């Protein structure tokens, strides 16, 4: 599995900053600030503080596993790569010194998670705690920023969605207000990277219980101490076209539903029911076609009662 040296998780322009620091600099102070809600959904005026625990623990685990626990040679080899990268002899002694120190000498302060702030309010601050490592504070800016923006953004959007749902459910159907935690289901995992599945999913779960992003179950336990006998999210059994078509073309759709009601006798069962669609082909009401869509095959079956009946199967 690809597990690069943790030092690679930064921007290339930062590699030379150690030498650029003013002589005598012993401490460097950094901040992580959500700057704007300009592109946020309508109604968002503040930003939810969320994800700091994920960031800090991930950062610790990453450097322990892929830097400090490895031989010192990883720091030396990184310096060799930077020499080739920059086209010059690069002094990597500060990376070797960090490896010998054995930990990240950074103090992180953070706002409580779950509160809202105006834009341009720092959610985290950073300062090095050991002389000689002022360069490290902003060296970590890249990875911290990449980790932190998604959970906060998703938590902020989810909270606005929840406010919208609460407003309209209470206006139109207050008797079913108990369903509010499940009315904005998270189905975003397939469009995200593995880390974003977790961080964005937990951000959404800060306002809603309904989610198909199941990585949030162990993630909430590891990063937020969710009890082992509980889960942070919930969902239901549900079909998709790929499983529906295996039943439709063997036992038929009616029998498929009957079978599944036996197989799933309790709870909610969600069934994809648009696998087959009958559409008109011409002026005659006798001419029609059945369209079956699945992830792997598209099948067009023309009604066999038509005089010019035919069947065509097109692999996608």
Instruction: Give the torsion sign (CA, 103, 127, 80, 97).
Output: negative
Alpha-carbon gap, residue 201 to 165, rounded angstroms: 19
pLDDT at residue 301 is higher than 90: no
Alpha-carbon distance values, 105 to 11, 133, 136 (Å):
20, 7, 8
- What does the pLDDT read at residue 295? 46
pLDDT at residue 309 is higher than 50: no
| Mean pLDDT value across residues 64-78 | 98
Alpha-carbon distance values, 61 to 64, 68, 201, 223, 295 (Å):
5, 10, 20, 11, 38
Rounded to two decimals, the pTM is 0.84
The C-alpha angle 308, 314, 316, rounded to 5 degrees, equals: 155
Given 2.40.280.10, 3.20.20.70, 3.20.140.10, 3.40.50.300, which CATH number is that of 6-149? 3.20.140.10
Q: Which residues contact 87 (CB under 8 A, 6 or more apart)?
A: none
Domain ranges of the chain: 6-149, 155-235, 238-315
Could you tell me the pLDDT band of residue 274, with boundaries at 50, 70 and 90?
A: confident
- What does the pLDDT read at residue 37? 95
Give the tens place of pLDDT for each residue, 205-232: 999 999 999 999 999 999 999 999 999 9
- What does the pLDDT read at residue 276? 72
Average predicted confidence (pLDDT) for the chain:
89
| Mean pLDDT value across residues 156-171 | 98
Give the tens place of pLDDT for each residue, 109-153: 999 999 999 999 999 999 999 999 999 999 999 999 999 999 999
- What does the pLDDT read at residue 307? 33
The two beta strands, 124-128 and 29-32, are antiparallel
Alpha-carbon distance values, 281 to 289, 305, 314 (Å):
7, 13, 18
Give the tens place of pLDDT for each residue, 236-258: 999 998 999 999 889 988 899 99
Could you tell me the pLDDT band of residue 278, with boundaries at 50, 70 and 90?
A: low
> SS3 of 212, please?
coil
Alpha-carbon gap, residue 222 to 177, rounded angstroms: 31
pLDDT at residue 310 is higher than 70: no
């Amino acid at each position: 599995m690809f597990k690069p040296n943790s030092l690679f998780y930064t921007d290339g322009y930062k590699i030379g900053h150690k030498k650029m620091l003013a002589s005598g600099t012993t401490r460097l102070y950094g901040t992580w600030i959500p700057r704007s809600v300009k592109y946020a959904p309508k109604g968002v005026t503040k930003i939810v503080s969320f994800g700091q625990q994920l960031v800090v623990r991930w950062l610790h685990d990453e450097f322990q596993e892929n830097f400090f626990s490895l031989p010192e040679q990883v720091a030396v080899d990184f310096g060799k790569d930077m020499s080739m990268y920059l086209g010059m002899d690069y002094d990597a002694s500060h990376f070797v010194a960090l490896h010998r120190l054995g930990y990240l000498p950074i103090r992180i302060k953070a706002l409580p998670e779950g509160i809202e702030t105006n834009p341009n309010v720092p959610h985290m601050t950073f300062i090095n705690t050991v002389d000689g490592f002022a360069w490290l504070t902003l060296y970590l800016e890249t990875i911290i920023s990449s980790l932190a923006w998604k959970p906060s953004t998703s938590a902020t959007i989810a909270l606005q969605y929840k406010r919208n749902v609460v407003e309209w459910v209470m206006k139109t159907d207050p008797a079913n207000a108990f369903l509010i935690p499940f009315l904005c289901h998270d189905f975003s995992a397939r469009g995200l990277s593995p880390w974003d599945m977790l961080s964005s999913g937990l951000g959404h779960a800060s306002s809603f219980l309904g989610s198909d992003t199941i990585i949030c179950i162990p993630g909430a336990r590891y990063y937020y101490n969710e009890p082992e006998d509980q889960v942070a999210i919930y969902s239901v059994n549900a079909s998709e076209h790929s499983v529906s078509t295996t039943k439709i073309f063997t036992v038929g759709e009616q029998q498929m539903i009957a079978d599944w009601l036996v197989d799933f006798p309790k709870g909610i069962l969600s069934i994809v029911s648009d696998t087959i669609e009958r559409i008109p082909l011409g002026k005659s009401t006798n001419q029609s076609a059945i369209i079956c869509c699945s992830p792997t095959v598209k099948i067009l079956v023309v009604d066999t009662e038509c005089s010019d009946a035919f069947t065509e199967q097109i692999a996608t």
